[in-house]
């Protein structure tokens, strides 16, 4: 997201639509467009041309995908999309769909390209590749290839195995590349995307934190009107920013509700009640609900059930506050009609709400809410990624200690305990988690990792030895990960001395833990959280 700028009254952004053909990197394409200062949205390939036109897109990008255009049941695109007159860029599978739809030829020649590949510009590379090096390394992942460009298209790049590695039709403003410019493995990949957006389409780089704030403030005012609204404030980045954004829009109509469900990390309640309130001026009500939550979680080990219970009880806690606030506002006939949630785009995607995506897990904000919910939801961050939310938070003046903190799941430590959630197990995990966070901060690593969940394997015991005696304690798992937006992640290579300090302190200071292990799984195949 670019730096904030002055915004006009008309802040509604027409999107660049990213059509998702089931690609691993579809969300990443949308991110790269936003990094170029242009608003983007994802849409499934099953959308009709009429549905796509209804979004009034300024441009369309066709994503890659795992299929072959020749496979029975392979993802298709309504070919009328190409008659909308909207500038379009095809990437990998989307490149082949474009070629096939417009009369070109796609063939399986037996020549495949995977990973780093040398590409060479043909001529000056046209507007899409113009100004880039004549030879560059790109990231390929394909078995089929475009063997002949459609009529009217100019070949812009080739590789040893792929004569038509990029093409363009300047008159129609249609372009395509066989490689993946959205991944950082492709040299000059972002430049390719920016050439399409800024040079071919002529879009300004004017989507920024200031624009988002101005647009959302207007939308929030229109949605809420003069009604009262409560916000689900957890102290995390998402809820902190969404609450501050709604407060900017409607002021004292908002009451923030902080539910202490007993699943928090050490010191979190104090941070919310002191630091956040002092910086924003938001009215805060704290609900002590630890006994209620733990009562409902007793005996529950299934992670999906845990998430749904926690989401349900959150809402029940808010409903109780709603009754109190309505009574308070009785003289004016007030009613608390709206609930603010810090739902982010990755939450929506992983809950099956993205473009043609699978339901990976239920989220406490998405799909885990009771059917009899008595609130209308306000979700001002629903289309944003985490780094974009941080930029908005900084623009709103939220303290860096909150804006820059590691992401923490809404269900809290309840989904970092593998097994039943009990008060004793929470206390054990809280201490281990606090030690890990303290040592990472001491080592100056907070800005180098996305987050470091500590997971208690509560139903597992391991043999150990301490003080010449045999122990039979719990293991904990350190899960340090690096990511840009939580859609994909890799485990962080922490220094051995830091890992050693964390392990030694946890096993020395937390009596019930006698083993610390390191999770070195990327995402995919694993998720960041264990449950």
Strand 135-142 vs strand 88-91: parallel, antiparallel, or unpaired?
Answer: unpaired
Residues 312 and 368: their CA atoms lie apart, in Å, by 7
Q: 251 φ, ψ to 5°?
A: 55, -125
Question: What six digits make up the tokens of 316?
Answer: 């029940």
Residue 185 annotated among the catalytic residues of the structure: no
> Which CA distances in Å does 364 have to 216, 313, 318?
23, 10, 14
Question: What six digits make up the tokens of 380?
Answer: 């001002």
CB atoms within 10 A of CB 298: 10
Q: Are 237 and 210 in contact (CB under 8 A)?
A: no
Could you tell me which of 131, 128, 171, 177 has the C-alpha nearest to residue 153? 171
Contacts of 526 (CB under 8 A, 6+ apart): 519
Candidate list 35, 45, 92, 215, residue with the active-site label: 92
Could you tell me which of 273, 270, 89 has the C-alpha nearest to residue 169? 89
Contacts of 357 (CB under 8 A, 6+ apart): 20, 349, 350
Could you tell me which of 266, 291, 306 has the C-alpha nearest to residue 423? 291
Which residue carries 């999309």 as its tokens? 81
Candidate list 180, 188, 261, 363, residue with the active-site label: 180
Which residue carries 């529950």 as its tokens? 300
Residue 305 annotated among the catalytic residues of the structure: no
Could you tell me which of 224, 247, 243 has the C-alpha nearest to residue 376? 224
Question: What six digits make up the tokens of 287?
Answer: 């609900």
CB atoms within 10 A of CB 172: 16
Candidate list 182, 350, 388, 439, residue with the active-site label: 182
Return the sign of the alpha-carbon dihedral for residues 38, 139, 386, 54: positive
Check residue 66 and report its DSSP letter: S
For the purposes of burial, counting CB atoms within 10 Å of the CB of 45, is it exposed (0-12), middle (13-18) or buried (19 or more)? buried
Residues 128 and 121: their CA atoms lie apart, in Å, by 11
Which residue carries 């610390």 as its tokens? 516
Peptide bond into 525 cis (omega under 30): yes
Residue 420 annotated among the catalytic residues of the structure: no
Peptide bond into 524 cis (omega under 30): yes
Residues 4 and 214: their CA atoms lie apart, in Å, by 11
3-state SS track over 104-124 = CEEECCCCCEEEEEEEEECCC
Q: Kindly list the catalytic residues.
A: 92, 180, 182
């Amino acid at each position: 997201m670019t730096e904030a700028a002055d915004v006009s009254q008309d802040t509604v952004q027409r999107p660049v639509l990213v059509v998702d053909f089931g690609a691993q990197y579809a969300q990443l394409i949308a991110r790269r467009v936003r990094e170029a200062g242009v608003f983007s949205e994802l849409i499934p390939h099953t959308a009709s041309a009429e549905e796509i036109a209804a979004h009034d897109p300024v441009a369309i990008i066709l994503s890659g995908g795992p299929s072959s255009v020749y496979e029975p049941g392979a993802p298709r695109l309504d070919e009328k999309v190409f008659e909308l007159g909207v500038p379009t860029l095809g990437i990998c599978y989307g490149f082949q769909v474009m070629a096939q739809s417009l009369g070109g030829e796609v063939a399986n020649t037996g020549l495949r390209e995977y990973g780093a590949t040398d590409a060479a510009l043909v001529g000056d590379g046209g507007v899409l590749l113009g100004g880039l090096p004549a030879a560059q390394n790109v990231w390929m992942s394909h078995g089929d290839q475009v063997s002949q460009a459609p009529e009217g298209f100019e070949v812009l790049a080739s590789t040893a195995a792929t004569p038509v590695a990029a093409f363009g039709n300047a008159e129609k403003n249609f372009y395509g590349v066989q490689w993946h410019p959205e991944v950082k493995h492709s040299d000059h990949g972002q430049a390719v995307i920016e050439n399409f957006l800024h040079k071919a389409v002529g879009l300004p780089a004017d989507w920024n934190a200031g624009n988002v704030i101005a647009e959302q403030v207007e939308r929030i005012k229109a949605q809420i009107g003069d009604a009262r609204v409560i916000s689900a404030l957890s102290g995390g980045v998402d809820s902190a920013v969404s609450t501050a954004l709604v407060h900017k829009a409607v002021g004292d109509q908002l009451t923030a509700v902080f539910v202490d469900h007993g699943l928090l990390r050490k010191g979190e309640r104090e941070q919310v009640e002191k630091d956040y309130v002092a910086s924003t001026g938001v009215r805060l009500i704290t609900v002590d609900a630890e006994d209620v939550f733990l009562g409902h979680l007793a005996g529950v080990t299934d992670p999906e059930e845990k998430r749904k219970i926690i989401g349900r009880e959150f809402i029940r806690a808010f409903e109780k506050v709603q009754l109190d606030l309505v009574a308070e506002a009785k003289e004016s006939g007030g009613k608390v009609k709206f609930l603010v949630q810090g739902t982010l785009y990755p939450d929506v995607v992983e809950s099956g709400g993205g473009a043609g995506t699978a339901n990976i897990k239920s989220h406490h904000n998405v799909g885990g809410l009771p059917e009899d919910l008595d609130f209308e939801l306000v979700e001002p961050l629903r289309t944003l990624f985490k780094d974009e939310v941080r930029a908005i938070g900084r623009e709103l003046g939220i303290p860096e200690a909150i804006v820059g903190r590691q992401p923490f799941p809404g269900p809290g430590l309840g989904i970092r305990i593998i097994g039943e959630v009990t008060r004793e197990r929470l206390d054990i995990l809280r201490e281990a988690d606090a030690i890990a966070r303290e040592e990472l901060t001491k080592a100056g690593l907070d800005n180098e990792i996305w987050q470091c969940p500590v997971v208690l394997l509560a139903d597992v015991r391991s043999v150990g030895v301490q003080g010449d005696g045999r122990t039979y304690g719990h293991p904990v798992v350190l899960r340090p990960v690096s990511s840009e937006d939580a859609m994909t992640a890799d485990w962080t290579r922490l220094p051995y001395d830091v890992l050693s300090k964390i392990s030694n302190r946890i096993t020395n200071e937390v009596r019930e833990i006698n083993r610390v292990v390191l999770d070195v799984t990327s995402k995919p195949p694993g998720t960041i959280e264990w449950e």
